[in-house]
């Protein structure tokens, strides 16, 4: 991956590995996306999981206490939860303290910073361990200019949160690389930063500077270079649309891919808001994206078919491809449909 400037470098580059993944008391799979993302894209760095009573979600990794994980070679425990508001519940504190007592650094991508929790700060000092908060934007982010810049950019956009924007971006970047294309994956959220080792946590940037952060993240590059940018939120989201719009304007994508969970009927955590239609999201993204890149186009759709069996997923992908008139695939399943999506991105 092409190195970011010092101002863009993430503290993730200083993390001590391997990791024990902490799942708290999560019962909703989507809220465990940090742990699942690390398992799927940095599995060689993850040796086990640790949960609180009541948790029903698992990564499938061995269940280990912090002491057992430390004995097995773990150096850090990563909070693998991305809950609404990025909070650290009080009921997690004993488990997090247990990790520090075992000699593990604590790594978090939550909005609430570890060092702002008195019990954790005291325990870290007492046991000589570090508290590492990944969700900290760099200093010196400029106001966006809106000026065109060289290079090519692809942005994943979503109909909702936590439905595959990061996985799609990672899969596309990997596919580009296999075709010997000069490409960088640009992380915009805590999980992506932990996987890539660099990036900017877009939802932690002050609103006036968010589009500037997107410009900073995907700077001018050689004409043949691609930045594949991890999307955030949804332009239709009642709470998070602001970061999505700033990312769209600042990244100035030449190409975007819409990510959608077909089995989801209402927005995650917002049951009064139905999911938007894919075609409406395409039209909305083009309308708003033209402000900074008049040539923006949709390459296709990424469907999260994890809730379907293989045959049902294949039928849905084929029918949506015909209905929408564009490439449709599930990047996790891969196959010919995904290769067609890659072709459409590069066309």
Give the start-to-end residue ranges of the domains of the chain: 17-129, 152-346
pLDDT of residue 6: 30
| 82 — pLDDT class (breaks 50, 70, 90) | confident
CATH architecture of residue range(s) 152-346 = 3-Layer(aba) Sandwich (3.40)
Q: Average pLDDT in the 147-171 region? A: 97
Which tokens belong to 211? 């589009």
Q: Average pLDDT in the 160-168 region? A: 95
Q: What is the CATH number of domain 17-129?
A: 3.40.50.720
Q: Which of 37, 45, 278 is nearest to 167 (CA)?
A: 37
Q: Average pLDDT in the 115-124 region? A: 96
Q: Average pLDDT in the 97-109 region? A: 97
Burial bucket for residue 9 (CB in 10 Å: 0-12, 13-18, 19+): middle
Whether pLDDT at 4 is above 60: no
The H or E element containing residue 108 is strand 105-108
Q: What DSSP string runs through 205-263?
A: S-GGGHHHHHHHHS----TT-EEEE---S-TT-TTTHHHHHHHHHHH--SEEEEEE-TT
pLDDT of residue 7: 35
CB of 234 closer than 8 Å to CB of 240: yes
The percent of residues in the chain predicted with pLDDT above 90, rounded, is 88
Whether pLDDT at 3 is above 50: no
Whether pLDDT at 1 is above 50: no
The H or E element containing residue 270 is strand 270-274
Q: Average pLDDT in the 158-162 region? A: 95
Q: Average pLDDT in the 226-239 region? A: 97
78 vs 4: CA distance, rounded Å: 23
Mean pLDDT across the chain, nearest whole number?
A: 94
Instruction: Report cis status (omega within 30 of 0) of the bond before 85.
Output: no
DSSP letter assigned to residue 324: H
Q: Which of 83, 78, 79, 77 is nearest to 31 (CA)?
A: 83
Q: Return the number of other C-beta atoms located less than 10 Å from residue 298's C-beta.
A: 23
Topology agreement, domain 17-129 and domain 152-346: yes
| 83 — pLDDT class (breaks 50, 70, 90) | confident
pLDDT of residue 48: 98
Whether pLDDT at 10 is above 60: no
268 vs 31: CA distance, rounded Å: 10
pLDDT of residue 188: 96
Alpha helices in the chain (DSSP H): 33-41, 66-71, 93-101, 118-127, 165-178, 190-196, 210-217, 241-251, 278-289, 310-324, 335-346
Whether pLDDT at 157 is above 80: yes
Whether pLDDT at 80 is above 70: yes
Whether pLDDT at 189 is above 70: yes
C-alpha 306: how far from its chain's center?
17
pLDDT of residue 198: 87
340 vs 337: CA distance, rounded Å: 5
Whether pLDDT at 14 is above 90: no
- Report pLDDT digits (tens) over 282-339: 999 999 999 999 999 999 999 999 999 999 999 999 999 999 999 999 999 999 999 9
Whether pLDDT at 8 is above 90: no
**How many distinct helices (H) and strands (E) make up the chain?**
11, 13
pLDDT of residue 86: 86
Q: Average pLDDT in the 63-68 region? A: 98
Residue 102, CB-side half-sphere exposure with 13 Å CA sphere: 25
């Amino acid at each position: 991956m092409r190195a970011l400037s010092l101002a863009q470098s993430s503290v993730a580059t200083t993390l001590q590995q391997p990791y024990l993944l902490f799942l708290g008391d999560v019962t909703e799979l989507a809220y465990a996306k940090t742990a699942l993302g690390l398992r799927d894209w940095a599995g060689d760095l993850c040796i086990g999981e640790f949960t609180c009573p009541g948790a029903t979600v698992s990564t499938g990794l061995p269940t280990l206490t912090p002491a057992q994980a430390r004995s097995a070679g773990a150096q850090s425990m990563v909070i693998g939860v991305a809950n609404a508001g990025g909070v650290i519940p009080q009921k997690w504190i004993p488990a997090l303290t247990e990790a520090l007592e075992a000699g593990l650094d604590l790594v978090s991508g939550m909005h609430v910073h570890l060092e702002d929790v008195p019990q954790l700060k005291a325990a870290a000092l007492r046991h000589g361990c570090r508290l590492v908060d990944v969700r900290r934007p760099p200093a010196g982010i400029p106001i966006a200019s809106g000026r065109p810049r060289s290079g090519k950019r692809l942005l994943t956009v979503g109909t909702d949160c936590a439905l595959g924007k990061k996985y799609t971006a990672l899969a596309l970047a990997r596919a580009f690389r296999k075709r010997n294309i000069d490409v960088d994956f640009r992380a915009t959220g805590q999980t992506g930063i932990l996987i890539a080792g660099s990036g900017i946590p877009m939802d932690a940037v002050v609103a006036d500077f968010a589009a500037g952060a997107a410009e900073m993240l995907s700077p001018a590059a050689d004409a043949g270079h691609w930045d594949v940018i991890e999307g955030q939120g949804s332009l239709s989201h009642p709470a998070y649309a602001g970061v999505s719009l700033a990312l769209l304007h600042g990244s100035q994508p030449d190409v975007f891919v819409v990510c959608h969970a077909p089995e989801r009927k209402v927005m995650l955590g917002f049951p009064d808001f139905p999911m938007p239609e894919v075609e409406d999201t395409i039209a909305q993204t083009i309308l708003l994206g033209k402000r900074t890149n008049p040539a923006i186009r949709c390459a296709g759709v990424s469907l999260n078919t994890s809730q379907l069996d293989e045959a049902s997923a294949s039928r849905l992908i084929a029918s949506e491809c015909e209905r929408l008139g564009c490439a449709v695939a599930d990047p996790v399943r891969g196959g010919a449909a995904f290769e067609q999506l890659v072709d459409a991105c590069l066309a």
